[in-house]
Amino acid sequence: MTLLATKGTSTRFRPTWWRAVLYEAEFYSKTWRASVISSFLFPILYLSAMGLGVGHLVSAHTGLIEGHTYSHFIAPGLLAITAMQLSVGECMWPVLASIKWVRTYHAAVATPLEPDDLVDGKVLWLAGRLFVTTAVYAVIITCFGATTSWTALFLPFIGALIAVAFAAPLMAFSSRVESDVTFTMLFRFAIVPMLLFSATFYPVSQYPVGIRWMVQLMPLYHGVALCRAAAFGSGSLLAIATHAAVLIVMTVVGLFFGRRNLRRRLVD
C-alpha cells in the first residue's frame, strides 16, 4: 500500500485515481507470470482446437460461414471472450477480497484516495491491460488470416471497451455482495450462457427466430459483433454505433453504481 499513500512530488500533480492505477500495475508486475497462460496461451489453444480442429469438420460439411471459414469466423469472437473473461477474473474475487478478507481497500481509503479512485483506477488499469492483450491477440489472429480489413486496427480499442463494459458493473456487484457464493451463481447463470450463446461459435441467424432477440440482448453479443465488424470491415454504421453505445452505457452505469456501492461499503 506504500504506492497508494505516496505524497511525493512525483505524484503531487497527478489525479488521485492515477495512484490506484499505479498500484494495480505494481501488483501485476509481481503476478504477471501466472496470467500469461490465461491471457495469451489459452485463447491461442482454443482458436487452434475450435478453429482448425472443429472448424475443419464444420467447413467440410457447411462450407463458408457468412463468407468466412469457421476458424476465421470465430477468431474475433474469441477476442471478445478473452476481454470479458479477464475482466470477470479481476473484478469478482479480487475485489471482494480487497474489501472483506485482505481489506486492502480499507487501507487505501485511509490515504488521500477515495472509493471513487479505487473504482476508476481498477477499470482504467483493466482498459490498458486489455488494450495490450487484445493487440497481441489481434496480431495472432491476423497471422491466422482472420482479419481482412484495415479496420482490424480498432480491435485493441474494442477489446479495452469490452473490458471496461464488464469491469465497471462487476465492480459494482462485487462491492455489494457479502459472500463469494453469489459469484458461482453469476458464473453459472450469466457468464457461461454468454460464452455459449452470444453468436461466438455460430451466427445469430442460426438461432430460432423466437430466441434470437434473447441472444441480441446479451452484453457479450455486442462485443462479439463489434470485433467481427472490425476484423472483416463489415456492418453498417448504425449497427456498429448501437453495439458500441450498449457497451458505453454499461460502463457509465457500472461506474456510477460501483462508486456508490464501494463508498457505502468503506466509508458510510
How does pLDDT run along the chain (268 residues), one tens digit per residue? Answer: 445 544 443 445 568 889 999 999 998 888 887 777 666 676 777 777 776 666 666 665 565 677 788 888 888 998 999 899 999 999 999 999 999 999 999 999 998 899 999 999 999 999 999 999 999 889 988 988 889 999 999 999 999 999 999 999 999 999 999 999 999 999 999 999 998 889 888 888 888 887 888 899 999 999 999 999 999 999 899 999 999 999 999 999 999 999 999 999 998 6
CA 160, 262, 185, 42 torsion: positive or negative?
A: positive
Contact of 158 with 178, CB cutoff 8 Å: no
- The pLDDT of residue 64 is 62
| E strand or H helix at 227 | helix 219-232
Amino acid at position 94, single letter: P
Whole-angstrom Cα distance, residue 105 to residue 225?
Answer: 36
pTM, whole model, 2 decimals? 0.89
How would you class 184 by CB atoms within 10 Å of its CB: exposed for 0-12, middle for 13-18, buried for 19 or more? exposed
- The pLDDT of residue 69 is 81
Domain-wise residue ranges, the chain: 14-266
Across the strands, what pairs with 68? 65
CA distances from 151 to 22, 44, 70, 175, 197 (A): 31, 22, 20, 37, 25
- The pLDDT of residue 119 is 96
- The pLDDT of residue 8 is 43
Calculate ∠ Cα 235-254-161, nearest 5°.
35
Contact of 120 with 17, CB cutoff 8 Å: yes
| DSSP-based three-state secondary structure for 134 | helix
DSSP letter string, 95-116: HHIIIIIS-HHHHHTTTT--HH
- The pLDDT of residue 2 is 46
